[in-house]
A and B are shown apart, each in its own frame.
Chain A
Amino acid sequence: MSAGTSNVAVPGAVPDVAPRRGGMLAGRGSALAAALIFAALAVLPPIALAIGDPFLVVTATRILVFAIAALSLDLVLGYGAMVSFGHAAFVGLGAYAVAILASHGIDDILVQALAAIGVSALFALVTGAISLRTKGVYFIMITLAFGQMAYFFMVSLSAYGGDDGLTLSARSTLFGLPVLSSDVSLFYVSLAVLASAFLGLRALTLSRFGRVLRGTRENPIRMQAIGFQPFAFQLTAYVIAGALAGLAGVLLANQAEFVSPAYMSWQRSGELIVMVVLGGMGTLVGPIGGAIAFLLLEDWLAHFSEHWKLGLGVLLVLLVLFTRGGIAGGVERLFGRARP
């Protein structure tokens, strides 16, 4: 699935001390790569202002939001080995929590975020408990079906714009103060959420809970044979990921000042999977890179042709073929130790 499995030993040979699964980028290298990415992002707003391109901050905020969503999907897909094809639904639910509360005059970001997390966690709990009864391609199908249900529910909800979506009159406030009104402050809030989510998930994947999740990814029968019931761990991971994606939705609504069912479409879910796979599953830092690469490519290729997705497709095929483990896998092969 990810890098680090190529270390096949010749019987009797004694290779070096075990590298961690996921290799360098799951260990210290991952923290370093993430620190570099976060540092580069942190200095982006002043640079954007200096070169007179403030719109760069808006684009970058959008990237941050999708990086958070991709990061949350990595917990499910990369660590939990659950191919969820309905992850955009959680982002959409989070965004709608903001828009619907705002349309009733509740602008406070804390209230909105709590509602968004609550709703998306609950949706993840219910749909996850049902979906996890299935395996393999059926799991993909059932998560896709739940995602589409959420999508069509919002399409039919004419009180909140239906298919046309809902425009926010203003961004969220904190205790009545318009702290997010400037693009730069929204950017830094998003960056802080991304960095916290990364550190939190990193700790989680190394914790007792994360170890069971990683063990289950490798061999669920073995985990049962030593006394773990995988269902509870996978469902918990699914709910945590859903809640985090909902939080990304809160930021997305504020960034776009608009929400629509399109946020929840299955194409969006597919794009999130592409970001995770492109960046490198089960590495956390990879999906952040994947989100950055995907959205920049989308922007850049769109300049050349309206058929930009064709170019993206070709690039994806090349990446999958030549860098097993996505961008993170490629970086690791460039800088990592030579394998025996």
Chain B
Amino acid sequence: MSEPLLAVTDLRKSFGALAVTDGVSFDVHGNELHAIIGPNGAGKTTLIHQLSGNLASDSGTVRFAGEDITKHSMVDRVRRGLARSFQITSILDGFTVLENAAMAVQARSGSSFRFLRPASKESPLNDEARAALARVKLDDRAHRRAGSLSHGEKRQLEIAIALATGAKLLLLDEPLAGTGHEESAVLVALMQELKLTHTIVLIEHDMDAVFALADRVSVLVYGRLIATGTPEEVRAHPEVRAAYLGEEEAA
């Protein structure tokens, strides 16, 4: 079998005596959608911070596309094709929707130490940005101020920005957080399409969405992965049912 796109081995992170990531290992293969689920406080967000380079790991390794990126900064990881979205929407409210995406294109399109020409008029940047917006169905909002979008649209823009970085692998941190029923249906349909072109690590609370989208699911409880497998395997796993799904049996 070919080398996985993302290989995480024995990753650890402690805050004082509290082991928040406690020996996590998993692989993500190309064009796979790998979901990571877990109850509140399981350490999902810490893990994604470690994967994206926002937070340094205490030990363990993260390999991406055959390269050890454990010590790489967030900026270096993005440049290699590992982009993340944020659980708490962190788009640039004061810029237009198009500029939010165009800025991500700009980051990988030549030097940004250019001082005279207006950036918002650079067609190559805007064209690629529009393509990313089209993939999340936001192209008709291109010239709106990002801060004026609805919550669901902001979540779509989060994904468009990650796409616009030219990423191979998207780390999506609870893309459905705070969305209503209709909004989340739009986002799930969107991720179905993204699956065809991108490898995705999806951290998500919404079990319906996870079981509908994921090729494989890993379950994180108190910083440890207690199970990894297909949605059916994970659903049937006794430890998972005890630790986690029990509380959401209604789902």
Decide whether A and B are members of one complex.
yes
Binding site for B on A (CB under 8 A): 4-5, 7-9, 11-12, 15, 17-19, 21, 203-204, 206-212, 214-215, 218-219, 221-229, 233, 236
Distance from A284 Cβ to chain B, minimum over Cβ atoms (Å): 15
CB < 8 Å: which of A12, A15, A21, A204 contacts B115?
Answer: A204
Is the beta-carbon distance between B117 and A19 smaller than 8 angstroms? no
> Which of chain A's residues has its CB closest to B96's CB?
A18
Q: Which of B56-64, B145-153, B229-237 contacts the other chain?
A: B145-153
Binding site for A on B (CB under 8 A): 52, 54, 73-75, 78-79, 83-84, 86, 90-97, 99, 103-104, 106-108, 111-120, 122, 143-151, 161, 164-165
Instruction: Please indicate the chain B residues that have their CB under 8 angstroms from the CB of A218 in the complex.
Output: 92-95
- Complex CA–CA separation, A224 to B107 (angstroms): 10
- Complex CA–CA separation, A204 to B115 (angstroms): 5
- Complex CA–CA separation, A61 to B151 (angstroms): 51
Would you list 28 pairs from A and B whose C-beta atoms are within 8 A, ordered by A residue?
A: A5-B94, A17-B144, A18-B97, A21-B94, A21-B95, A203-B118, A207-B117, A207-B118, A207-B119, A208-B112, A208-B115, A208-B117, A210-B119, A211-B103, A211-B120, A212-B106, A214-B94, A214-B95, A215-B95, A215-B103, A222-B161, A223-B103, A224-B75, A225-B54, A225-B83, A225-B86, A226-B78, A227-B108
Is the beta-carbon distance between A226 and B107 smaller than 8 angstroms? yes
Is the beta-carbon distance between A221 and B90 smaller than 8 angstroms? yes
> Which of chain B's residues has its CB closest to A15's CB?
B148
Instruction: Please indicate the chain B residues that have their CB under 8 angstroms from the CB of A207 in the complex.
Output: 114-119
Which 4 A-B pairs give the minimum distances between C-beta atoms?
A18-B145, A21-B94, A227-B107, A9-B148
Instruction: Please indicate the chain B residues that have their CB under 8 angstroms from the CB of A7 in the complex.
Output: 145, 147-148
Instruction: Please indicate the chain A residues that have their CB under 8 angstroms from the CB of B114 in the complex.
Output: 207-209
Distance from B93 Cβ to chain A, minimum over Cβ atoms (Å): 7
- Complex CA–CA separation, A334 to B247 (angstroms): 57
- Complex CA–CA separation, A204 to B95 (angstroms): 17
Distance from A328 Cβ to chain B, minimum over Cβ atoms (Å): 16
- Complex CA–CA separation, A172 to B144 (angstroms): 52
Known: A212-B103, A221-B54, A226-B104. A17 touches B94 (CB 8 A): no
Is the beta-carbon distance between B116 and A203 smaller than 8 angstroms? yes
Instruction: Please indicate the chain A residues that have their CB under 8 angstroms from the CB of B113 in the complex.
Output: 208-209, 236
Instruction: Please indicate the chain A residues that have their CB under 8 angstroms from the CB of B74 in the complex.
Output: 224-225
Known: A11-B150, A227-B107, A233-B112. A206 touches B93 (CB 8 A): no
- Complex CA–CA separation, A218 to B147 (angstroms): 12
New A-B contacts (12) at CB < 8 Å, excluding given A9-B147, A212-B106: A5-B94, A21-B95, A203-B116, A203-B118, A204-B116, A206-B119, A207-B115, A226-B78, A226-B104, A226-B165, A227-B108, A227-B165
Instruction: Please indicate the chain A residues that have their CB under 8 angstroms from the CB of B73 in the complex.
Output: 224, 229
Instruction: Please indicate the chain A residues that have their CB under 8 angstroms from the CB of B118 in the complex.
Output: 203, 206-207
**Which of A4, A18, A211, A227 has most chain B Cβ within 10 Å?**
A227
Instruction: Please indicate the chain B residues that have their CB under 8 angstroms from the CB of A9 in the complex.
Output: 147-150
Is the beta-carbon distance between A222 and B75 smaller than 8 angstroms? no
Instruction: Please indicate the chain B residues that have their CB under 8 angstroms from the CB of A233 in the complex.
Output: 112
- Complex CA–CA separation, A228 to B78 (angstroms): 9
Known: A209-B115, A210-B119. A227 touches B79 (CB 8 A): yes
Is the beta-carbon distance between B150 and A222 smaller than 8 angstroms? no
- Complex CA–CA separation, A15 to B114 (angstroms): 33
Known: A18-B96, A206-B120, A208-B114. A219 touches B145 (CB 8 A): no
Is the beta-carbon distance between A226 and B93 smaller than 8 angstroms? no
Is the beta-carbon distance between A18 and B107 smaller than 8 angstroms? no
- Complex CA–CA separation, A203 to B78 (angstroms): 28
Instruction: Please indicate the chain B residues that have their CB under 8 angstroms from the CB of A210 in the complex.
Output: 115, 119
Instruction: Please indicate the chain B residues that have their CB under 8 angstroms from the CB of A4 in the complex.
Output: 94
- Complex CA–CA separation, A206 to B148 (angstroms): 22
Is the beta-carbon distance between A228 and B107 smaller than 8 angstroms? yes
Distance from A103 Cβ to chain B, minimum over Cβ atoms (Å): 35
Known: A11-B150, A206-B118. A17 touches B78 (CB 8 A): no
Instruction: Please indicate the chain A residues that have their CB under 8 angstroms from the CB of B95 in the complex.
Output: 21, 214-215, 218
Instruction: Please indicate the chain A residues that have their CB under 8 angstroms from the CB of B143 in the complex.
Output: 17-18
Is the beta-carbon distance between A225 and B147 smaller than 8 angstroms? no
Instruction: Please indicate the chain B residues that have their CB under 8 angstroms from the CB of A214 in the complex.
Output: 94-95
Is the beta-carbon distance between A225 and B120 smaller than 8 angstroms? no
**Which of A11, A19, A207, A226 has most chain B Cβ within 10 Å?**
A226
Instruction: Please indicate the chain A residues that have their CB under 8 angstroms from the CB of B122 in the complex.
Output: 208
CB < 8 Å: which of A19, A211, A225, A236 contacts B106?
Answer: A211
- Complex CA–CA separation, A43 to B110 (angstroms): 45
Known: A218-B93, A228-B112, A229-B75. A208 touches B147 (CB 8 A): no
> Which of chain A's residues has its CB closest to B164's CB?
A226
Instruction: Please indicate the chain B residues that have their CB under 8 angstroms from the CB of A236 in the complex.
Output: 113
- Complex CA–CA separation, A18 to B157 (angstroms): 15
- Complex CA–CA separation, A66 to B4 (angstroms): 60
Distance from B146 Cβ to chain A, minimum over Cβ atoms (Å): 8
Known: A219-B92, A228-B75. A18 touches B86 (CB 8 A): no
> Which of chain B's residues has its CB closest to A11's CB?
B150
